Chains A and B, each alone.
Chain A
Amino acid sequence: MDFLRPASWEEALAAKAEHPTAVPIAGGTDIMVEINFDHRRPEYLLDLGRIELLREWEVGEEVTKLGASVPYTQIIENLRGTLPGLALASHTVASPQIRNRGGVGGNLGCASPAGDSHPALLAAGAEVEVESVRGSRLIPIDEFYTGVKRNALAPDELIKTVHIKNATGPQQYSKVGTRNAMVIAVCGFGLALHPDTRTVRTGIASAAPTPIRAQAAEEFLNAALEEGGFWESGKVITPSIAKQFGELASAACNPIDDVRGTAKYRRHAVGILARRQLVWTWEQYRGTNGRSLEGAA
């Protein structure tokens, strides 16, 4: 196993072009586990640790550009206001030590259906900026996950930044695990209200081969909120809407039985989380005219 240590982004892209099988490593919180368990033995490891721009972020008018290696701790501490869903998701990642190392780029690169940042990115709306010596492109998050632990990257491409829509309304993220901290997702759910476009978006983790959105649930809720005039009136969401939203989110799942949980439980839990988060986010929207973007945690 060769260890490549590019000093700059350009050198990294050149190295990846020369060695397309090279596995990029930043925090190492996923790759090192795989290597230590001997689950994979990449020919080349491409260390991104010296590339400063990957650890930077920029909060723009509408979009925050988040460097691929910005550790979760930084997201929690600095981006809670603009990216509340992602900050909440970051808080559920592993332990403080891991959160100091790991970042969203690694989550996207591994594209595990259990990754904690995926539902938040799906719900917020995001584009993944990837680059190669051939140039750069933006991959919409909805098109990013292509299969179990597979993504839309070409072999010579590296993830540079993630462009995430700044929150214009409340966002939530929850995951179910069988322990109260430091646990891999049995399933996860994220919800973002977008009052600017009067839409909602969702994200589901660990309940399908890839991270997914609950499209039918979103469409139902968008229509129900519009028809009921909820966005203007800010009136209380009716239990029947919350219930049906939960059921549709549950129906969006395509989970498996495994050692962490049954498919039946995952469907059940996603439905509960969707229902609860709709109430939490909507109450927050009503109570504060949508200005408070803080998560509850």
Chain B
Amino acid sequence: MANTRTAPSGTPTNVSQKHNKGGIGESTLRPDGTLKVTGEFAYSSDMWHEDMLWGQTLRSTVAHAEIASIDISEALAMPGVYAVLTYDDLPAAMKNYGLEIQDTPVLANGRVRHHGEPVALVAADHPETARRAAAKIKIDYRELPVVTDEASALAPDAPLIHEGRDDHHAGHVPHPNIVHRQPIIRGNVEEARKRADVIVEGEYTFGMQDQAFLGPESGLAVPSEDGGVDLYVATQWLHSDLKQIAPVLGLPEEKVRMTLSGVGGAFGGREDISMQIHACLLALATNKPVKIVYNRFESFFGHVHRHPAKLYYEHGATKDGKLTHMKCKIVLDGGAYASASPAVVGNASSLSVGPYVVDDVDIEAIALYTNNPPCGAMRGFGAVQACFAYEAQMDKLAAKLGMDPVEFRQLNAMEQGTIMPTGQVVDSPAPVAELLRRVKARPLPPERQWESAGEGADVRALPGGLSNTTHGEGVVRGVGYAVGIKNVGFSEGFDDYSTARVVLSVVNGEAVAMVHTAMAEVGQGGVTVHAQIARTELGVTNVTIHPADTQVGSAGSTSASRQTYMTGGAVKNTCEAVREKVLEIGRRKNGSYHPAWATAELLLEGGKVVTDGGEVLADIAELLEGEDPIDIELEFRHRPTVAFDLVTGQGDGHVQYTFAAHRAVVEVDTELGLVKVVELACAQDVGKALNPLSVVGQIQGGTTQGLGVAVMEEIIVDPKTAKVRNPSFTDYLIPTILDTPTIPVDYLELADPNAPYGLRGLGEAPTLSSTPAVLAAIRQATGLELNKTPIRPEALTGTL
């Protein structure tokens, strides 16, 4: 494993604390791991409060309609019902919310724009009563024609999903049913095309993927005596929720106190508000604690999904295999409300070339408003759809040129110093060719592994698995490669920061650090890493992690592969300030006893202040005895970015890039169209593995989520009615352990000098390249073109 870690520049001290036990670089275990595996972890849905009521949301049964009337009388008359709320009951002037554009009604205002839109709320003393009461609300829908794709959205007589738009994208979009449009023009495609010896074109379709987190949306709102509310909820970004919740409740932010409760996965699906405002409204209306828990069916309507996309690509290359140009149009379906669509457009366009050197590009990405389910953040965020398409294009080009697909990619791979289509220079390691080399160099898994010791076939190793559909008949192996590029952190000029508060005190004669942030732990391992950082920087063993809440500054979102970089960076930063304070106290108290206090580089190690030569100067706990606890809260920012130019797309819009490559080995039952992914090897540069076990876990998880959308995961929306057809785990399938292959992981640690510890955000990149690698392998096995993901058996057997 390469390990070329260099000291990150720009850090305020050259003290190295790497010797501390349980610090960074060790695979310390998750504090909640055992609880989760044994079923004892308290998720947000497990919360309970004396006297609490249960909230229920009534959602639209149609995708697009005017609401002629709502009759709540029967529901309100039911015994046990405490409140029924509709749009008319909203207490403040602000009645909408939204991450960037506040276009989403808290409750429908005379019109619904998608299937499953919240229309009314019920609070009752029993969840069943609440559900039955909601069913008694009578709504008179006058159905409107539905807009479901680019053609129907942009038709001259298309119904406008949002009339009278005044958001900051409204001025530059070519049609009001386009949320945002981002072109990127660099070089001259028309000229470059003349140099191309081969040109390939492709039209690709990416299906709507669901985050499918296992813990459904849930939370508990408790009204407080000051007229405010305490909200306990599973979310990805407490402060972003707070900013959207408080105005709709008509409360100042300090009267809405939020605490993170146990999160059962997120993957982007908890960036948007779900039940937060609804529970608070019901709690304030009834003056009682209100709990809302979605069931699986409602969860499919309770959060945004990954944007389905149509991608049109043209690439050219010279006969010696150098890319000449790329032209593409990416159409993302944002559904009825904006959510994160504008930022997804920014990512899809700026990363649409992939990790390749192409000087002449003509790129356009748009997100549509339609009556389909709203789409927003999901792991990979716009880069996933693009990667699926450009990697298919790379294989087509290599085939047309008669070149090896990996060598072709390596020939065009970007590296440190490459200029992105946005004009941004990639200024830290970009080992794209090396990642490909590593996955390719691995020995291939043995063929026909199902032939187990003469006892007939082990069907678990075959396509179809336990369903016993083949004993080897029709099975063909395929191998495919892909590599992707993802940005880390919030881009395009967003003021992205994280806050950490660190308290160092003496408890029972021992120095104890407490780390307090608002970071949402959604499974990424921040709670482990924060303690490791504190141990490394403060030389203490005992670190406690304070529950995440809004009593400390924002930690930003647990998304965009940013939390270890950002809140981890904030914890490091604050710890360094705390360390300086310890040394200050030391100098004040003991400085006169030993010259080293003034002259040496001092470290905190093993609970002591030591010199860089290893001489112990003081015990930290003894130094702090009689002192007030050191309590510091600081913000941490990554380097600034700028917005992409609206015409040319130029601008240093991203913070950091991250890369992963996959090799997929599949076995396809070519007669039945069933796929077994045998192995999905991944190589990724992580800059610095703060917790190697968590790193491997993230890579394997991301890889599996990419596999899911390659072969099974898709929310199916009826194009005639815009209604969701499969909102259940019976018909929305995610991979089981029998669908999950061996995932060997090879991670590099090439430091990014701009990042804390040189680390590179890593959670999303493996989700990008896993999907196209599997597709490429299936293409090789079947000889089919396969331009849509997920692959259905019908597509492999000509039975659509």
Contacts and interface: CB of A to CB of B under 8 A. Distances in A.
B733 A265 contact: no
Contact of B736 (A172, A179, A265): A179
Interface in A237-288: 259-262, 264-265, 267-269, 272-273, 276, 279-280
A178 B792 contact: yes
Given A92-B468, A175-B469, A296-B457, A180 B463 contact: yes
A150 B468 CA distance: 28
Interface stretch (B671-679, B745-753, B759-767): B671-679
Interface in B33-67: none
A42 interface: no
A268 B669 CA distance: 13
A296 B736 contact: no
A226 to B, nearest CB: 26
Contact of A92 (B467, B725, B730): B467
A179 B739 contact: yes
B174 interface: no
Contact of B467 (A37, A38, A180, A265): A180
A179 B736 CA distance: 8
Interface residues of A, number: 37
A176 B468 contact: no
B468 A172 contact: yes
Contacts of B295: 36-37
A106 to B, nearest CB: 16
A180 B468 contact: no
A176 B671 contact: no
A91 B466 contact: yes
A297 B799 contact: no
Nearest to B669: A272
A203 interface: no
B624 to A, nearest CB: 52
A174 interface: yes
A180 B738 contact: yes
A181 B799 contact: no
Interface in B322-356: none
Contacts of A272: 474, 671-672
Interface string A10-36: 000000000000000000000000001
Given A176-B469, A180-B466, A181-B466, A262 B800 contact: yes
A276 B669 CA distance: 12
Interface stretch (A123-131, A133-141, A154-162, A182-190): A182-190
B467 A178 contact: no
Interface string B443-479: 0000000000000110110011111111101100000
A74 B253 CA distance: 59
Interface string B659-675: 00000000000011110
B712 interface: yes
B473 A276 contact: yes
B711 A178 contact: yes
Interface string B466-502: 1111110110000000000000000000000000000
Interface in B130-149: 131
Nearest to B455: A296
A295 B456 CA distance: 10
B797 interface: yes
Contacts of A195: none
B646 interface: no
Interface in A23-81: 36-38
A88 B699 CA distance: 35
Contacts of A273: 469, 672
B621 to A, nearest CB: 50
B672 A280 contact: no
Nearest to B466: A181
A139 B469 CA distance: 30
A37 B671 CA distance: 36
A297 B468 contact: yes
A145 interface: no
B128 to A, nearest CB: 9
Nearest to A267: B799
A173 interface: yes
Contacts of B11: none
A178 B731 CA distance: 10
A177 interface: yes
Nearest to B732: A259
Contacts of B735: 179
A180 B737 CA distance: 9
Contact of A296 (B471, B474, B731, B793): B471
A180 B672 contact: no
B467 A175 contact: yes
Residue of A36, A38, A182, A184 with most chain B CB atoms under a 10 A cut-off: A182
A244 B459 CA distance: 26
Contact of A181 (B457, B730, B739, B792): B739
Contacts of B676: 180
Contacts of B467: 92, 174-177, 180-181, 183
B318 interface: no
B464 A180 contact: yes
B477 to A, nearest CB: 16
Interface string B766-800: 00000000000000000000000000111001011
Given A37-B297, A186-B793, A268-B799, A181 B468 contact: no
Nearest to A260: B731
Contacts of A37: 295, 297, 728
B726 interface: yes
A178 B712 contact: yes
B716 interface: yes
Nearest to B733: A179
Contacts of A179: 465, 712, 733, 735-736, 739
Contact of B468 (A38, A88, A183, A262): A88
A91 B459 CA distance: 11
A87 to B, nearest CB: 11
A135 B769 CA distance: 64
A146 B340 CA distance: 51
A65 to B, nearest CB: 26
B672 A181 contact: no
A296 B459 contact: yes
Contact of A180 (B465, B716, B725): B465
A173 B464 CA distance: 12
B469 A183 contact: no
B797 A265 contact: yes
A265 B794 contact: yes
Given A172-B468, A272-B672, A297-B466, A178 B456 contact: no
Nearest to B295: A36
Nearest to B131: A38
B736 A180 contact: yes
Nearest to B463: A180
B131 A259 contact: no
A293 to B, nearest CB: 14
Contacts of A180: 460, 463-467, 676, 736, 738-739
B672 A269 contact: yes
A178 B708 CA distance: 11
A176 B674 CA distance: 8
Contacts of A181: 465-467, 736-739
A219 B453 CA distance: 37
Those 10 A-B pairs whose CB atoms lie nearest each other, nearest first? A180-B465, A265-B799, A181-B738, A264-B799, A180-B738, A174-B468, A175-B467, A174-B469, A265-B794, A259-B725
Interface of B: 131, 295, 297, 456-457, 459-460, 463-471, 473-474, 671-674, 676, 711-712, 716, 725-726, 728, 730-731, 733, 735-739, 792-794, 797, 799-800
20 contacts: A36-B295, A37-B297, A175-B467, A175-B468, A176-B672, A176-B793, A178-B712, A179-B735, A179-B736, A180-B463, A180-B464, A181-B465, A181-B737, A182-B738, A264-B799, A268-B797, A273-B672, A295-B468, A296-B457, A297-B466
Given A180-B676, A265-B800, 9 more contacts: A176-B672, A178-B674, A180-B736, A259-B726, A262-B794, A264-B794, A268-B799, A272-B671, A276-B471
